Amino acid sequence: MTKFRLKDGYEGRAAGPVAAAVLLCLLLAAFYFSRLNDNSDFAQRGSRAITIPEGAATEEIGRLLHEAGLVKNATAFKMTVRLHGYEGKLQAGTYRLQGGLNNRQLARKLLKGQVALINFVLPEGYNIQKIAAKLEAEGLGKSEKFLQLAKDYAPYPYMEGDERVLFKAEGFTFPATYEFHVGADEKEILRRMVEQFDIELHIANLPELCEEKKLSIRDMVNIAAMVELEAALSEEQPLIAGVFLKRLAIGMPIQSDTTVQYVLGGEQKELITYADLEADSPYNTYRHSGLPPGPIAAPGLSAMLAVVKAPDTDYLYFVADSNWRHRFSRTYGEHMQAIREIEEKQ
């Protein structure tokens, strides 16, 4: 009996330190795992894009997150995924992830498929070169590649025409706010913009309205692009369109400064000089009658509607005052008088 009690007591006394040691090890392991799960002291602040390939295993995803500076320890990320039952459920795609999230927060974003989208605003009146520069500035592609694609991109028949155009896609990229996946290439971006143009074209019934006006879709867009750039006020767009149409009807040169600016390229000039008007280009509507070879910018819907709904007036001239409001004239004499009156007020 005594021997049994001693042994029982001995075993009881031994169990205490062992249990404490095991508990201490568990606490240390939990603390260590918790530290590995927390990436706040490792990840740089700010968001970054990361692409998870199709079929990527958790181990590979952890490595990619670590290389991107988002996860302190790839193995700890893998353990977190398994612990919470996320194994095999993380979704492929390109994500924009915030630095400093812990492993579970990152895993949940990949679990939900919160794929990153970037907004891109294409304003009315932007030409292909300005679009390309804006895309590159906002990290959505290379300017040079976009320009190269735009040279010959013409998926719709109405985009085909004069071979002298600089870009076949010019004028046919619809001004709007687009959402692109991070990683979308230049071809996909151009396709979306041109496809949206075709959608809006038919929603507004523009093909039928062009037919009623005895205009081709291409010519309508060509005129609308000049209207877009000439008119600072949308209510003046129909009148400006009417002047262009009137000049075309009687064989009078359009003489739009906007086409000269297109030839010159670069930043918009506040004042076109007489030397600029001598630029030798088929786009120069001072030197060449009729429409330029193609549109010079992307017109908005209101500018296109202004062309097909332009009023029939006797106006042949217009000039802008200091507030960019235009004065319209029927004769050259009236036009020169309007210019003098505007200059006197300045």
Q: What is the pLDDT of residues 71-86, one digit of tens each?
A: 989 999 999 999 989 9
Topology (CATH level 3) of domain 47-115: Dna Ligase; domain 1 (3.30.1490)
pLDDT of residue 35: 63
Beta strands in the chain (DSSP E): 47-52, 93-98, 117-121, 177-181, 317-320, 326-329
Half-sphere exposure at residue 197, Cβ-oriented, CA atoms within 13 angstroms: 27
For residue 303, give the nearest of 250, 251, 236 by alpha carbon: 236
Domain ranges of the chain: 47-115, 128-313
How many other CB atoms are found less than 10 A from the CB of residue 47? 12
Query: pLDDT tens string for the chain (346 positions)?
Result: 444 444 454 455 555 665 555 554 554 444 444 566 888 888 777 777 788 888 899 999 999 999 989 998 999 999 999 998 999 999 988 887 888 899 999 999 898 776 767 889 999 999 999 999 999 998 888 999 999 999 999 999 999 988 999 999 999 999 999 988 777 899 999 999 999 999 999 999 999 999 999 999 999 999 999 999 999 999 999 999 999 999 999 999 999 999 999 998 766 666 777 777 878 899 999 999 999 999 999 999 999 999 999 999 999 999 998 888 999 999 999 999 999 998 888 7
What is the rounded distance in angstroms from the CA atom of residue 23 to the CA atom of residue 16?
Answer: 11
Q: Identify the pLDDT of residue 112.
A: 77
pLDDT digits (tens, 9 = 90+) for 186-229: 999 999 999 999 999 999 999 999 999 999 999 999 999 999 99
Task: Give the angle subtended at the CA of 301 by the CAs of 299 and 303, to the nearest 5°.
Answer: 60
CA–CA separation, 101 and 99 (whole Å): 6
Distance CA 66, CA 337 (A): 71
Q: Please, where are the H alpha helices in 153-269? A: 186-203, 206-212, 217-230, 237-250, 257-264
Rounded Cα–Cα distance for residues 120 and 179 (Å): 6
Q: Give the list of residues 6+ apart from residue 166 with CB closer than 8 angstroms, or none.
A: 128, 151, 294
**pTM attached to this predicted model:** 0.70
CA distance 72 to 62: 9
Distance CA 332, CA 337 (A): 9
pLDDT computed for residue 1 by the predictor: 45
